Amino acid sequence: MNEIDREVQNIIDREWERQQSVLRMIPSENIVSDNVLKALGSCFVNKYAEGYPEKRYYQGQVNNDALERLTCERACRLFGAEHANVQSYSGSPANMAAYMALCQPGDRIVGLGLNSGGHLTHGWKVNFSGNLYESHQVEVNRDTERLDYDEVEAFCKEVKPKVLFIGTTSYSRAFDFARLREIADHCGAYLVTDIAHVAGLVVAGAYPNPVPYADIVTMTTHKTLRGPRGGMILCRQEHAKALDRAVFPGIQGGPHMNQIAALAIALGEAAKPSFKEYGHQIVKNAARLADELVQRGLRIVSGGTDCHLMVVDLRAKNVDGKTAAIALEKAGIVCNFNAIPYDPNPPRHPSGIRLGTPSITTRGLKENDMPRIADWIVGVLEAPDDQAVLDNTAAQVREFLKGFPYHHNG
């Protein structure tokens, strides 16, 4: 019996069609290769593997061990790391493991605030990281909307954290990791960097690599790295034991070996020269899009971008982020509403949207396509309630995207 479950398959088909027909500009999303998809659906989905290679709790591990070792080797080689753990189910558990490896509940931590571009797991009050630890949040400078490293140092010297946890969800500028290491050293803290968003850019050489400077580096594997949904952690050898113990048995049970198989494929793809081109193209596309939006009267937080994403301040167009995101989706441009630093507006209706170029770059769009996208975006922002504008834009987007194949072969 090999009957298709039509009820589910119809939903999958509709999602496939939706993804192909819109500009997917949520910076954390991408398009995996056919081989990554195949590995996710491989027989490894059937197998349990609690533990680590040669130290498992169930029998039948010969292929799991080979796979996990290969994946860790590829990760260490790509990033220049001493140790890799590839078992994290995703970014939040990876961050949880980093804290568990380096500090105890109640210890002081410093992380980047949410409106400054940090993530919930960097010490936000309602997250485990803000509950279990004594969390202090550092913010970007009010004028530059960038990290001011002297301010960070002064803040850390006062707080004296056990861990300085710096990473990004919506911070568009390259971090100075050497300076962050110095700050951590000056106040006796461990340095953890979360490169979930930029991991693929790091591998491509289009963004600085924190591995030489950080005690632990966490990431998700499905954003610019273009692998399966999952997490990965790199660390210095001295933290390897504590980190592995934090992931298993500290947080998780059996790793998802099909996810690890898909990650191994993605890391193999990331080692190819074409991945370098892809990474640099993402950044070129983002920089050009930011310029084009500025030329059309919008303001980009911090004045621009060094990576794949930007937060756009919409106040000049008299529209809030949520209204804009809903209108843009109707027009075939999918993004998310986002707070700007020190946002005067409430979180459900913040002043900005966040845009990113990874998915559209994977589809093959180049800098010269950005003015057209900027025109569409601004057209919608200036008439978010005009159904004719939204329908007309959606039709143009759909037609335009027919020229760019949705899948890729790594």
Residues tagged active-site: 48, 50, 194, 220, 223, 229
Choice from 64, 85, 169, 285 touching ligand DSN (CB under 6 A): 169
Residues 6+ apart with CB under 8 A from 223: 27, 28, 29, 30, 196, 197, 198, 199, 200, 358
Question: Please, which residue, 222 or 363, has the CB nearer to ligand DSN?
Answer: 222
Of 398, 381, 379, 388, the C-alpha closest to 332 is: 398
Q: Which of 91, 100, 155 is nearest to 121 (CA)?
A: 91
Tell me how far, at minimum, the Cβ of 346 lies from ligand DSN, in Å.
20
What is the token pair recorded at 83?
Answer: 């140790």
| Residue 51 or 358 having the CB closest to ligand DSN | 358
Could you give the string, one character per residue 25-44, with x where binding to ligand DSN holds by CB under 6 A and - elsewhere? ---x----------------
Q: How many CB atoms lie within 10 A of CB 250?
A: 15
> Residue 391 CB, nearest distance to ligand DSN (Å)?
28
CB of 138 to ligand DSN, least distance (A): 19
Nearer to ligand DSN, 194 or 313 (CB): 194
351 contributes a contact to ligand DSN by CB under 6 A? no
Binding residues for ligand DSN restricted to 256-285, rule: CB under 6 A: none
Nearer to ligand DSN, 119 or 173 (CB): 119
Question: Whose CB is nearest to ligand DSN?
Answer: 28
Does position 91 bind ligand DSN by CB under 6 A? yes
Q: How far is the CB of 309 from ligand DSN (least distance, A)?
A: 8
Residue 292 beta carbon to ligand DSN: minimum distance, rounded to whole angstroms: 23
Question: Residues 115-154 vs ligand DSN: string with x where CB under 6 A?
Answer: ----x-----------------------------------
Contacts of 199 (CB under 8 A, 6+ apart): 219, 220, 221, 223, 224, 225, 232
The verdict on 218 binding ligand DSN (CB under 6 A) reads no
Q: Which residues of 187-204 are buried (b: 16+ CB within 10 A; e: fewer)?
A: bebbbbbbbbbbbbbbbb
Using CA atoms of 88, 92, 95, 96 in order, give the dihedral in degrees to the nearest 10: -90
* Cβ at position 190, least distance to ligand DSN in Å: 22
Residue among 28 and 224 whose Cβ is closer to ligand DSN:
28
Nearer to ligand DSN, 20 or 90 (CB): 90
Asked whether the beta carbons of 219 and 225 are under 8 A apart, the reply is: yes
In angstroms, what is the minimal distance from the CB of 124 to ligand DSN? 12
Q: Which is nearer to ligand DSN, 49 or 216 (CB)?
A: 216
The residues that touch ligand DSN, with contacts defined as CB under 6 A, are: 28, 91, 119, 169
